[in-house]
């Protein structure tokens, strides 16, 4: 870590840095994750249009078979949705890198393909996320019928050193794989079902098609057919656990709690998957305990222990304690939830209700006020009874969880949190000025973990989101900053975010409030002049 000038970091910071360094030395680094993007159909040849997505699926599968940590299509799709990027869009390197950061990748693979006298030519290149530099340009050729062999050769060149081949089932017939990929690309459920049924007719053991069929039926709300789609996946399949998880989700949606419990419990016992423990808790919230099962809080606690970075597990744990009328335990775990996700309106509201029940009326009012700022459903909450909590707040996990927006290291727990929070805030400010947004967010998240309602930190987080066009996240951050400390700069920043979302009335109101707070603000006055004609 580099420090400017000769300023001493102080004993508190030194102790924390030493703890972090010890942790690094004690643990092996996690395997680098690789994001494979859909390849470009360079020749715009309609006959291989499906291969752009097919290339990403194949290459990720082959990399994982070699022992690399390639990101699944489901994670990639979730990142696209979070950034509001169309799945078929041609993206700049900057957007691709932002997507990679969301899914926690350290490397991105992009590429293009075209037909050349009947031969498929595939070109790929890698981009290192930390530096933004491109790696080697790789090219492989082969006849289309030998598609799987072509991509296997390419994957061996991309895979990190030290990986080795693992046994796997032979690939499906090419026609089945083509039908599967075309199903992934269509928005029409009926068309997707036809493609997937054709794939399974050609290759009954092609389990990935069964998982895709589950997804289509689930989106249609036909949970019975969704279950039927994945039940044939047998225990010898590499997709068995995923199929069992999806079947349990469908049983949960159908209210068949015994079947859902058995599915999630089998996964949790075998692998201690946080999402499975969490969903066991959800089942207990909805059906109640049985003589053979534990309280919901027991399962939610196991989920939080398995993944301490996910705010939802702590929210569910706090909610479970609220349902059993234990406000002190609810307060304890809901504080952890809002620490990890300060923009969670439900968590702030439930924390406020729990604080009121525990006798902390002033703090309860602050939490309710923040909930009103963050979520429109709590705008009338002051008219509710003090213990009025909406039903059905428990959160189900679907097994595809991206790295949370706010992660904190255990070594950052310090007796002098305010000084340490200020240290990370100052570093975040410098990194923001240097336009190193990724590292700035890391420092600001550390500051917020130590001081969850630091107005300056939330304002800066909002500015970073605004600079990267993540408008919803920016608005939430600005609202929390204003709730923590009302300032003209925060109102003006929120006005700009509203302007970008085309909400001119809200933008004008925020800018006018900025002028009230700071009548000398020429920036706020100029903003009002700019939007006066809109």
Confidence (pLDDT) at 404: 43
Please, which residues have CB within 8 angstroms of residue 442's CB and are 6 or more apart in sequence? none
CB-based contact 325:296 (threshold 8 Å):
no
Confidence (pLDDT) at 532: 79
The helix (run of H) or strand (run of E) holding residue 208 is helix 207-220
Q: How far does the chain reach from its first CA to its final CA, in angstroms? A: 47
Beta strands 134-143 and 40-41 are unpaired
Confidence (pLDDT) at 363: 87
Confidence (pLDDT) at 407: 38
135 — phi, psi (to 5°)? -95, -145
302 — phi, psi (to 5°)? -65, -35
DSSP state of 40: E
Number of neighbouring beta carbons within 10 Å of residue 259: 15
User: Can you tell me the distance from the alpha carbon of 73 to that of 519, in angstroms, rounded to the nearest whole number?
Assistant: 51
pLDDT of the chain along its 534 residues, tens only? 333 333 344 444 444 444 444 443 344 455 678 999 999 988 888 989 999 999 999 999 888 888 888 888 888 887 777 666 666 666 777 777 777 777 778 888 999 999 998 899 999 998 887 766 667 789 999 999 999 999 999 999 888 776 665 545 688 999 999 999 999 999 899 999 999 999 999 999 999 999 999 999 999 999 999 999 999 999 988 889 899 999 999 999 999 999 999 999 999 998 889 999 999 999 999 998 888 889 999 999 999 999 998 999 999 999 999 999 999 999 999 999 998 888 888 999 999 999 999 998 888 888 888 888 887 777 665 555 555 788 899 999 987 654 543 333 333 333 345 667 788 888 899 999 988 888 899 889 888 877 777 889 999 999 999 999 999 889 989 988 888 888 999 999 999 999 999 999 999 999 999 999 898 999 989 999 888 765
Q: How far is CA 36 from CA 43, 53, 71, 298, in A?
A: 20, 10, 7, 38
Sequential DSSP letters for 400-468: --PPPS----GGG--S-HHHHHHHHHHHHHHHHHTT-HHHHHHHHHHHHHHSTT-HHHHHHHHHHHHHT
Q: Which of 513, 462, 464, 458 is nearest to 491 (CA)?
A: 513
Confidence (pLDDT) at 399: 78
Q: What b/e sequence results for 57-92 when a residue is b if at least 16 CB atoms lie within 10 Å of its CB, and e otherwise?
A: bbbbbbbbbbebbbbbbebbebbbebeeeeeeeebe
* pTM for the whole structure: 0.72
Confidence (pLDDT) at 83: 65
Q: Sign of the CA dihedral 151, 156, 160, 166?
A: positive
């Amino acid at each position: 870590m580099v420090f400017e000038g000769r300023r001493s970091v102080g004993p508190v910071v030194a102790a924390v840095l030493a703890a972090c360094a010890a942790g690094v030395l004690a643990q092996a680094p996690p395997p680098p994750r690789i994001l494979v993007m859909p390849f470009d159909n360079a020749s715009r040849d309609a006959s291989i249009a499906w291969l752009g997505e097919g290339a990403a699926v194949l290459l990720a599968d082959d990399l994982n078979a070699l022992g690399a940590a390639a990101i699944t299509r489901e994670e990639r799709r979730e990142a696209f949705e979070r950034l509001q990027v169309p799945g078929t869009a041609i993206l700049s390197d900057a957007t691709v890198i932002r997507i990679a950061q969301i899914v926690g990748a350290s490397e991105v693979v992009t590429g293009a393909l075209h037909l050349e006298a009947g031969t498929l030519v595939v070109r790929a290149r890698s981009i290192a996320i930390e530096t933004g530099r491109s790696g080697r340009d790789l090219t492989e050729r082969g006849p289309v019928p030998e598609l799987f062999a072509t991509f296997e050769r390419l994957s061996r060149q991309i895979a990190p050193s030290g990986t080795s081949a693992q046994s796997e089932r032979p690939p499906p017939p090419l026609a089945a794989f083509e039908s599967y990929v075309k199903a992934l690309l269509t928005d029409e459920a009926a068309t997707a079902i036809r493609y997937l049924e054709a794939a399974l007719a050609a290759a009954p053991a092609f389990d990935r098609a069964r998982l895709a069929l589950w997804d289509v039926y689930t989106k249609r709300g036909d949970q019975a057919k969704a279950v039927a789609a994945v039940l044939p996946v047998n225990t010898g399949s590499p997709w068995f656990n995923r199929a069992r998880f999806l079947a349990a989700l469908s049983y949960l949606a159908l209210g068949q709690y015994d079947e859902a419990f058995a599915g999630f419990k089998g996964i949790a016992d075998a692998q201690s998957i946080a999402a499975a423990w969490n969903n066991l808790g959800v089942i207990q919230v909805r059906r109640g305990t049985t003589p053979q099962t534990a309280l919901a809080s027991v399962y939610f606690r196991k989920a939080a222990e398995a993944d301490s970075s996910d705010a939802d597990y702590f929210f569910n744990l706090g909610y479970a304690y609220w349902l059993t009328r234990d406000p002190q335990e609810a307060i304890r775990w809901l504080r952890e939830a809002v620490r990890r996700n300060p923009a969670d309106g439900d968590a702030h509201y439930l924390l406020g209700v729990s604080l009121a029940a525990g006798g902390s009326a002033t703090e309860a009012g602050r939490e309710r006020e923040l909930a009103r700022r963050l979520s429109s459903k709590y705008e009338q909450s002051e008219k509710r009874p003090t213990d009025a909590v909406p039903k059905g707040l428990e959160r189900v996990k679907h097994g595809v969880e991206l790295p949370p927006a706010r992660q904190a290291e255990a070594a950052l727990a310090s007796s002098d949190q305010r000084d340490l929070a200020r240290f990370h805030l100052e570093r975040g400010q410098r990194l923001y000025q240097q336009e190193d947004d990724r590292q700035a967010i890391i420092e600001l998240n550390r500051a917020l973990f130590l001081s969850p309602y630091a107005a300056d930190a939330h304002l800066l987080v909002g500015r970073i989101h605004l600079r990267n066009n993540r408008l919803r996240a920016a608005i939430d951050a600005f609202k929390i900053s204003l709730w923590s400390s009302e300032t003209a700069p925060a109102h003006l920043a929120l006005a700009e975010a509203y302007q970008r979302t085309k909400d001119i009335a809200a933008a004008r109101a925020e800018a006018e409030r900025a002028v009230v707070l700071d009548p000398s603000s020429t920036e706020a006055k100029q903003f009002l002049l700019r939007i006066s004609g809109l």
